[in-house]
Amino acid sequence: MESIETRIGYQFKQARLLEEALTHPSLGYETKRPRFDNQRLEYLGDAVIQLIFTTELYRLFPKHSEGKLTKLRSQLVSKEALCRFAEIIGIGQHLRLGKGEDSSGGRERPGNLADAMEALSGAIYLDGGLDSARAFILDNFGDAIEVIAREPGENNPKGELQEHLQALAPSSPFYRIVSQDGPDHEKVFVSEVIWEGLKLGRGEGSSKKEAEVSAAAVALKEKRWAGFEIGE
């Protein structure tokens, strides 16, 4: 635990919060013993990260419209971005996983890393307040704002899809690979994008990322979310 505190530049006063943030639900499920996991902190951390990046973008870009700010923020708080942030600080090696999850690649799984990044942010917020959480986010990942400002992701189907959907509900779409065929040097991946229980589109490509982009492009074309209402 001390090594990750050194890496993130924050020392917890309540060590249990850090332990909780790094505990995947698989650990309790596998041992069948009641124990905490990081799901509640993940929920809190999502809101904390959104607030910090929203405030910083508002400050840095006074001439940007609401739509432009929303597009920039969606790139910063996407599951892909959170996974990259988690990889930068090496969260994966510190995760507390069940043996099955660990042996099946759980320390590198993008969903686990993104969730842990949110949970860690929530834990720092509870332990040290908003200023500490802001310092953690901006000191470690503030450069990402400059990068997306220079390359705002035009022609980015995944970012554009997320922007459309977040105008309807705060949840993000998620992508899953439903099949992969062919020899290693000529793989064809098929990805599906799902949001609020709706299957929005399916696409294929020579890599997982390419298949996800294709699925997002199909979703933007078909607009299956039309008429969606929260709580349906």
Here the tokens at position 83 are 């996974």
Start-end of H helices in 9-129: 15-21, 25-31, 39-60, 66-77, 79-88, 99-103, 110-128
Q: What is the pLDDT of residue 34?
A: 63
Domain locations along the chain: 2-154, 158-222
Q: What is the pLDDT of residue 203?
A: 92
Give pLDDT tens digits for 74-99: 889 988 889 989 998 899 999 988 88
Q: Does domain 2-154 have CATH number 1.10.1520.10?
A: yes
Active site residues: 46, 118
Q: What is the pLDDT of residue 167?
A: 80
The span from the CA of 136 to the CA of 177, in Å, is 33
Residue type, 166: Q
Q: Do domains 2-154 and 158-222 have the same CATH topology?
A: no
Q: Which of 111, 38, 125 is nearest to 78 (CA)?
A: 111
Q: What is the pLDDT of residue 151?
A: 58
pTM (two decimals) = 0.65
Q: Which of 232, 8, 6, 3 is nearest to 119 (CA)?
A: 8
Q: Which of 80, 85, 88, 90 is nearest to 111 (CA)?
A: 80
The domain made up of 158-222 has a fold known as: Double Stranded RNA Binding Domain (3.30.160)
Q: Which residues of the chain have pLDDT under 70?
A: 1, 30-34, 150-155, 185, 228-232
The span from the CA of 25 to the CA of 89, in Å, is 21
Q: What is the pLDDT of residue 108?
A: 87
